[in-house]
Amino acid sequence: MFDYIDKFLDDLSIWSIRGLIILGIAFWIFMAIMVMHSLVTKDPVVGETYHGIIIRESDLETEEDE
């Protein structure tokens, strides 16, 4: 009986380590994709508020004259 539990716990620990490694690799791939995306898409900074919050060009509203 204890052999079965010991084997099950060994298998569980191996799968847990594999899962953590896969999650870590997926996390770093996601981070690399996000860095590449932020380098490609530029949204220029227009200015800052009094409290230091950055205002980007996409935050400004445009008014169209009719």
Higher pLDDT, 47 or 1: 47
pLDDT tens digits for range 5-63: 999 999 999 999 999 999 999 999 999 999 998 888 877 777 888 888 888 877 777 66
Specify the residue for token string 């870590």: 24
Tell me which residue of 61, 34, 65, 36 sits closest to 46, measured CA to CA: 61
The first and second tokens of residue 65, run together, are 């004259």
CA pair distance 14, 5, nearest whole angstrom: 14
The first and second tokens of residue 6, run together, are 């010991």
pLDDT in the model for residue 24: 98
Which alpha helices (DSSP H) does 1-66 contain, by range? 2-40
